[in-house]
Structure 1
Amino acid sequence: MQQMNAQRPDRIKRDPAPSRAAYRIHRLWLTPLFRALLRVGLPSFTVIMLIGLYVSDAENRERMNNIAREFRAAIETRDEFMVKLMAIDGATVPVAADIREVLSQDFPVSSFDLDLEAMKAQVETLDAVKSAQLRIQSGGVLQILVMERIPAIVWRNNQGTVLLDAAGVLVGPVETRMDRADLPLVAGEGAQDHIPEALDLLQAAAPIMDRVKGLVRIGERRWDIVLDRNQRILLPADDPILAMARIITLDDAQDMLARDLSVVDMRLGYRPTIRLQHDAADGLRRIRVSEIGVTQE
């Protein structure tokens, strides 16, 4: 027994403490950031690397693009996304026709292929359109709400005759003056820049409006009011409304415009002057000659 014990070597007892490397690995594993990198970062990096390797091949990229295009087309061409017709509200027949011509859109078309902002800008390029709103209604209807410019005056210039709104913005051409005889007439270069003032003058001349044929812009700085019977009122550049009010007062008091006058000049407010018609001036001269006893040959 002693001999067997003598043959068995004494076993070396292991130190229960971990090695330095094992201790460090254990401590590292207890770090939240390290565990997150192993659990999330490493798998994510592996997936990204595999995807990168896959898309680095041109054929794979083309295959993916085709799949994406087919998927998008399948969604965009669904019936609920198709626009089948256009409806225009708030526009007259000629303006509506111009809008359809400007947009020139073929239907049916996917709503994803319609750039509503660009189409709105196209519609608002028309002179007669003040503003427009575009929206797609249920049932596949492209709804266009139009606010037209309202013609307020006819402007005759060297290029022809056009309609302007109350702000002087172009509405559109007009063939002849008689096509819009219901609107007042202005003429002269630069008149379009002073339409609000012209409308105020016409309002001030309301008591004699049945005799007013139109307004003429002179030298791009002042107005003349043209009346029937070849009469003309010359207004000053400054405060023409006040000068017009004085004309109306004089006419009410003395029937001045009913007389044989050709021109009433109000350009000098402190000294208004009048000019007689040619026949009236000749008659006045004859009266003066007879009063002084001189005989004309």
Structure 2
Amino acid sequence: MDGGGRLARSLTTRRPRSNPKPAADFGGRLLPARSSARSRHEMSQLPLRDDSTPKLILQIERRLPRRFGIAATVALLIGTLGFGVIKGGHLAKVNEALSDTRNAFANAAGFRITSLSINGRKQLSQEEVLAIGGVNGRSSLLFLNAADVRDKLKASPWIADATVLKLYPGRLSIEIKERKAFALWQQGGRMSVIAEDGAVLEPFVASRFTNLPLVVGKGAQTHARDFLALLAQYPQIKPDVKAVIYVGERRWNLRMNSGLDIRLPEHGVANALTTLTKLDKEEKLLSRDITAIDMRLPDRLTVRLSEEAGKARDELFKKSKRKGTDA
């Protein structure tokens, strides 16, 4: 207290300001401590963006919509997945799986094919028609493309035309016009069933086509209709014909059941067949022991005897010669 009875210092006790304890780094060295207020001030002064960023990039970032990066990432993943599917050859399987899925939903919704009619088929079975058209037990009437089914049917060599109708909710009607099996065509060691216009219907494997006429040679399939129609006008010859052979894409040979070859001319085929019919009727030419008849020249007919007939003729000629000598 002073002389007046007053305290010489304040009643409030001030704590001595202690120096902040230096901080140590990870190496054991002491680092000078900074006040928290100063640290907050310095942090508030840090730049939010690097000033070295090009302006063009900044403008692009401002103009891009929000969440563009997420959308771009998703698009990249989808594109990568699609590329892998295509590159790996799995696209057809993926499409088939998607088609089966949507057809399953449509069938569950009441669009299952419950009634089916196929008209006009003769050679093809119902299962073959459906397989050609791409219709199976998983198909739904809702997602069935009638135009695609029709195009697939018409692409078959057996089917000349087709009509496909969808009758909701579950009826499918198919009408086809089949090509007729006309002949068997042999070329290069292969035998096929052909239609009248020469279209190849299928390889010859079924026994039901064994009664069809046989045509042989390059180009024979497109010229057989006209020649066989002409041959049908000569009933004395046609039943004994085993095959007709197109030679050099110019003329025809007849191969008879007996093995006899008849070489027809390039022109005047009808006259040659008329002459052949007359000779067979009058002289039984086709029943004789001969292997070939050459009618290629218009003013003559040449025959080739079989080996046995040739020997018999030579013996007969020798006997005739001896008799002439004795006389």
Q: Tell me which interval the TM-score lies in, with the shorter structure as reference length.
A: 0.5 to 0.7
1-structure distance, mates of 2:226, 2:161 = 24
Residue type of the partner of 1:88? I
Aligned residues: 218
CA contact (8 A) 1:213 1:226 kept: yes
CA contact (8 A) 1:204 1:245 kept: no
Q: Which residue of 1 aligns with 2:156?
A: 126
1-structure distance, mates of 2:281, 2:289 = 16
Partner of residue 176 from structure 2, selected from 111, 133, 146: 146
- Flag the 1:230–1:84 CA change in 2: closer, same or farther, 3 A: closer
Q: Which residue of 1 aligns with 2:141?
A: 109
Partner of residue 126 from structure 2, selected from 96, 121, 124: 96
- Flag the 1:163–1:129 CA change in 2: closer, same or farther, 3 A: same
- Flag the 1:95–1:173 CA change in 2: closer, same or farther, 3 A: farther
TM-score w.r.t. the length of structure 2 is 0.59
Q: Which residue of 2 aligns with 1:167?
A: 197
Q: Which residue of 1 aligns with 2:306?
A: 277
Partner of residue 181 from structure 1, selected from 199, 203, 210: 210
CA contact (8 A) 1:201 1:244 kept: no
- Flag the 1:146–1:118 CA change in 2: closer, same or farther, 3 A: same
1:139 positional shift: 5.0
2-structure distance, mates of 1:210, 1:198 = 15
Determine helix, strand or coil for the equivalent of 2:202.
strand
Determine helix, strand or coil for the equivalent of 1:204.
coil
- Tell me whether 1:291 sits opposite 2:299 in the alignment: no
Partner of residue 213 from structure 1, selected from 242, 247, 263: 242
2-structure distance, mates of 1:158, 1:238 = 26
2-structure distance, mates of 1:179, 1:90 = 19
- Flag the 1:78–1:278 CA change in 2: closer, same or farther, 3 A: closer
1:252 positional shift: 1.2
Q: Which residue of 1 aligns with 2:288?
A: 259
Determine helix, strand or coil for the equivalent of 2:193.
strand
CA contact (8 A) 2:184 2:213 kept: yes
Q: Which residue of 2 aligns with 1:246?
A: 275
Q: Which residue of 2 aligns with 1:66?
A: none
Mean CA deviation greater in 232-241 or 202-211: 202-211
1-structure distance, mates of 2:238, 2:124 = 31
1:244-271 Cα deviation digits (max 9, x unpaired): 2221122112211111121111111221
Structure 2 residue runs without a partner (length 5+)? 1-64, 66-105
1:147 positional shift: 1.1
- Tell me whether 1:155 sits opposite 2:185 in the alignment: yes
User: Highest CA radius of gyration, 1 or 2?
Assistant: 2
1-structure distance, mates of 2:301, 2:123 = 50
1:201 positional shift: 4.0
1:2-48 Cα deviation digits (max 9, x unpaired): xxxxxxxxxxxxxxxxxxxxxxxxxxxxxxxxxxxxxxxxxxxxxxx
CA contact (8 A) 2:242 2:256 kept: yes
Determine helix, strand or coil for the equivalent of 1:109.
coil
Q: Which residue of 2 aligns with 1:12?
A: none
- Flag the 1:284–1:208 CA change in 2: closer, same or farther, 3 A: same
- Flag the 1:221–1:181 CA change in 2: closer, same or farther, 3 A: same
- Flag the 1:159–1:281 CA change in 2: closer, same or farther, 3 A: closer
Task: Work out which structure has the larger RCO, using CA pairs closer than 8 Å and 6 or more positions apart in sequence.
Answer: 1
Q: Which residue of 1 aligns with 2:222?
A: 193
From the two aligned structures, give the one with the greater helix fraction.
Answer: 1
Q: Which residue of 2 aligns with 1:30?
A: none
CA contact (8 A) 2:254 2:262 kept: yes
- Flag the 1:95–1:202 CA change in 2: closer, same or farther, 3 A: farther
1:148 positional shift: 1.0
Residue type of the partner of 1:164? I
1-structure distance, mates of 2:299, 2:169 = 70
1-structure distance, mates of 2:239, 2:148 = 47
1:228 positional shift: 2.3
1:108 positional shift: 2.2
2-structure distance, mates of 1:149, 1:93 = 9
1:144 positional shift: 0.9
Structure 1 residue runs without a partner (length 5+)? 1-56, 58-76
